[in-house]
Chain A
Amino acid sequence: MGATRIPGNITQGSTAKGGIGESTLRPDGTLKVTGEFAYSSDMWHEDMLWGFTLRSPHAHAEIKSIDTSEALAQAGVYAVLTYDDLPTDVKNYGLEIQDTPVLAHGRVRHHGEPVALVAADHPETARRAAAKIKVEYVQLPVVHDEQTALAEDAPLLHPGRDDHHAGHVPHPNVVHRQPIHRGDVAAARARADVIVSGEYVVGMQDQAFLGPESGLAVPAEDGGVDLYIATQWLHSDLRQIAPVLGLPPEKVRMTLSGVGGAFGGREDLSMQIHACLLALRTGKPVKIVYNRFESFFGHVHRHPAKLWYEHGATKDGKLTHMRCRIVLDGGAYASASPAVVGNASSLSVGPYVIDDVEIEAVALYTNNPPCGAMRGFGAVQACFAYEAQMDKLAAELGMDPVEFRRLNAMSQGTLLPTGQVVDSPAPVAELLRRIKAMPLPPERQWETAGESADVRALPGGLSNTTHGEGVVRGVGYAVGIKNVGFSEGFDDYSTARVRLEVVGGEPVAVVHTAMAEVGQGGVTVHAQIARTELGVTQVTIHPADTQVGSAGSTSASRQTYVTGGAVKNTCEAVREKVLELGRARFGSYHPAWATAELLLESGKVVTDGGEVLADLVEVLEGEAIDLELEWRHRPTEAFDLHTGQGNGHVQYSFAAHRAVVEVDTELGLVKVVELACAQDVGRALNPLSVVGQIQGGTTQGLGLAVMEEIVVSKEAKVRNPSFTDYLIPTILDTPTIPVDVLELADEHAPYGLRGIGEAPTLSSTPAVVSAIRAATGLALNRVPVRPEHLTGT
């Protein structure tokens, strides 16, 4: 036994190298920079076929007939499938409501809906064969907004629906409605010295993850199928896939491939069932890879929204009341709409103290593209509106907009409109103080720089449209609140399997979860947690698959909290087993085995005083400790359907932004000069990754502010399904993003951490628009802001 002594009074993990709190590097980094990392579109199998999806050219139509004979006759084609070929009675799928047809049955409800599938020996053969499928459509009238959807004679998207929301909605074309009432709005309104109202519009944003929907389905000898796929939640996919295929879940073996981003767009199924159907039909491996055009039709988008808000305040700047109505366009199928309604309504007041509120949020069924999860999930739309309202109120009161917000900021102990107490730090005022205190970038750099003035830093950039003429600066602020984890009573658990064994004379931990690593760095954090909890250096992250229990979704900012929590929990249980084993083997040699608090540090069992009792290698002695455990955060409850009351949320995440913009008022071009963010992260498990998440989320918010929108015509047709016409920020559009990270621990969460991925996407958008308003004096109640909104042309 070694005589090494670690300094006294240590706690578990305090001496761990590469443990939590360090900016350890990604375990998949090397593979990702050499091009070897295997994404779902990189899968290849000998003898594989290519699948292709024929989609509806219409937003709403009856299918009179489908003739596949010519397609089937084409050389190189192995299968053509339509609704009639589905093998079981289960023909639909869906996250919460199973209303989405695997293949259209007699009717298409949105532009791009899948109608038929082709498998062929070359992708071009499959495309050409699909073009030979003759589908006879009779177009139907579309509903595309609240007025048309709720008209008395409106065509119903899902006549005879019997889902669990059907009974309480005011119209069958309303997916879900959530009112929230608290306090006495009439009385509070009477106390207001100023009242401001406004109607706000948020366009349809796309996740625009770069790795397209793709995967490889390989038929197995046992009649099952192996699916290699990019998703956000393997087990949710499995639950929806297996019944359609008519296979027991254990015969649909799913392995996560490399995922090229997600941002909510991979919560719903895309090509998963289609690839499996083709593989099972042909007996050959089938690969499906969407191109960018198809990807715009292949996943749900962020709900476009119309939001009406009224706020009142006393002349000393205290908010009196809020009334709002939020209408979200869910498109043709439910997807995550009900949960988005829950978020939009329960977070509609923002991070402010308002006791008297009347709130209503609804999601509609229309013939527009289906909308569901995207980073920020209902809270993004609300934040744009309430932050515009805060600026309006401050202006009306003649107050500084930041001071006005600070005066009304929520803090620990504040009641949400749902009656839930915010029982962890809510440093809203502090975040605002910090963001305002950050130094501002120099003004009119093109004048001070003289000859070396760089046109690339001006609005219009390399287009060389201005050298400063007509350019004005504006500064804007915003702050937001996002819930973390699945809410409203959902059993939001995760599972982690941890195996500790000696390999090559060294203790090694293997962490196995089904968590979808989509780029967020969960794999990095899991290794850090295992090092901290088990005092080992070597950690292997097992590929994510369905051979281990569900990890829940990589969404709702929840994975570090919930699967991180699960890894921590299993590691703790493994540690206990190690100590039990040690006591059994060596307990008689040293009294500390029985009396001291024992830790695992640097591959040894030590006392909290730092005395080494045994090497882990000796304790394990060739034995492996292998545990798989589920872990849950505090339970939540549903919101009351009439009052909206209920402890619906687990945790909250707060971020604040300050935007500095320069606007060429003559051409309507906006240059975001700087977009600073301050965010409370509870505890930064990996500071480098935390900052990366904040900067990435901030940039997506910038995109929504000034460029990103899926344009849908009145006929409910998508007009811009390409990166030529749907613009996401380039490196030239994106400013410097200084980040101030605050760490106030949430005592209810593992290590005090807070889910962080979404909050920065909320306040970024309203901060940018606030800055443009400050620069131009325009009202700007719609995002994205386009040049014509600024020039009035």
Chain B
Amino acid sequence: MRLTFTVNGRQQEADDVWEGESLLYVLRERMGLPGSKNACEQGECGSCTVRLDGVPVCACLVAAGQVQDREVVTVEGLADYARQRAEGGCGTGACGTSLDDAKRWQSKPADGRTGEAGAFPQQLSAIQRAFIDAGAVQCGFCTPGLLVAADELLERNASPSDEDIREALSGNLCRCTGYEKILDAVRLAAARTEEAV
């Protein structure tokens, strides 16, 4: 089947999609957006969390056909999404990503190991910056899903309690950090955002 939907504000099309494919597979293997991760493909780990019309979902549990004509935001578009939100723009990512912005996540940096990043630190969203600063990233495989989930939490609750954070992130497994620094990161992002207001 042919599939048309909006990803990070840009309309995308995929042909010859097999009906059994998940949104996760289409994003990763057909659209060159492997940021959403494939840790369990069973809806248990949250590493593939994306926003579907604003709602955080496990992309592995969404049949690709279900996203026809809908709007998806992935970790690759999180910084733009957060910026547009801060500028009072759209809450769904529908305002779109400029071509220059999109190139940032569409073009693969030559090397993922050296730390020579394709993205520019100042363009990261608050939650992305906080994850780096707080040491919440180790292997990083849970990170994209956690970022999308944490960003959604902060969108609806600007100063969450620790128990709120734990509840909101309870669908996202992390095997490296013991979650302490993830809590630190969410607290840090909330505090910085509050300070900035």
Contact = CB atoms under 8 A, between A and B. Distances in A.
A736 B121 CA distance: 30
Interface string B106-126: 001101111111110100100
Given A44-B32, A731-B170, A731-B182, A692 B138 contact: yes
Contacts of B137: 26, 29, 32-33
Contact of B40 (A521, A544, A723): A723
Contacts of A555: none
Interface string B92-135: 00000000000011001101111111110100100011011101
A209 B163 contact: no
B140 interface: yes
Of the candidates A256, A462, A723, A729, the one having the most CB atoms from chain B within 10 angstroms of its own CB is A723
A696 interface: yes
A557 interface: no
A696 B170 contact: no
B152 interface: no
B109 A696 contact: no
A261 B141 contact: yes
B69 to A, nearest CB: 24
Contacts of A456: 163, 166-167
Contact of A25 (B116, B132, B173): B132
Nearest to B36: A35
Given A543-B113, A730-B170, A730-B173, A30 B42 contact: no
A301 B139 CA distance: 20
A543 B40 contact: no
A260 B48 CA distance: 14
For chain B, the bracket of interface size reads 35 or more
Given A456-B166, A543-B114, A692-B177, A124 B76 contact: no
A696 B42 contact: no
Given A33-B147, A35-B33, A731 B169 contact: yes
Interface string B156-180: 0000000101110111111111111
B139 A210 contact: yes
A540 interface: yes
B176 A692 contact: yes
B6 interface: no
Of the candidates B38, B140, B181, the one having the most CB atoms from chain A within 10 angstroms of its own CB is B140
Given A23-B135, A210-B45, A732-B167, A32 B173 contact: no
A211 B166 contact: no
Contact of A695 (B33, B40, B74, B178): B178
A168 interface: no
B144 interface: yes
A396 B133 CA distance: 49
Given A30-B115, A211-B39, A519 B44 contact: no
B123 to A, nearest CB: 9
A692 B113 contact: no
Contacts of B33: 35
A260 B39 contact: yes
Interface in B8-35: 18, 20-21, 28-29, 32-35
A195 interface: no
Task: Report whether over half of chain B's contact residues are helix, strand or loop; otherwise say mixed.
Answer: loop
Contacts of B40: 210, 291-292, 722-723
A278 to B, nearest CB: 18
Of the candidates A454, A456, A696, the one having the most CB atoms from chain B within 10 angstroms of its own CB is A696
A32 B113 contact: no
A785 to B, nearest CB: 19
Nearest to B183: A731
Contact of A724 (B44, B132, B140): B44
A263 interface: yes
Interface in A265-281: none
A710 B178 CA distance: 21
B99 to A, nearest CB: 17
A41 interface: yes
Interface in B59-78: 74-76, 78
B34 A42 contact: yes
Interface of A: 23, 25-39, 41-42, 44, 122, 124, 207-212, 256-263, 289, 291-293, 454, 456-457, 462, 517-521, 523, 540-544, 688-689, 691-692, 695-700, 722-724, 728-732, 734, 736-737
Interface of B: 18, 20-21, 28-29, 32-42, 44-45, 47, 74-76, 78-79, 104-105, 108-109, 111-119, 121, 124, 128-129, 131-133, 135, 137-144, 147, 163, 165-167, 169-183
26 contacts: A26-B137, A28-B140, A34-B79, A34-B119, A35-B34, A35-B144, A36-B76, A38-B108, A44-B29, A207-B175, A209-B175, A210-B141, A258-B112, A260-B37, A261-B175, A261-B176, A263-B175, A291-B38, A523-B115, A688-B181, A695-B179, A696-B176, A728-B173, A731-B166, A734-B179, A736-B180
Given A27-B114, A210-B174, 11 more contacts: A33-B132, A35-B33, A35-B144, A38-B112, A124-B20, A207-B175, A210-B47, A211-B37, A541-B113, A730-B171, A732-B167
Nearest 8 Cβ contacts at the A-B interface: A35-B35, A27-B115, A519-B139, A260-B141, A32-B140, A695-B178, A699-B178, A723-B44
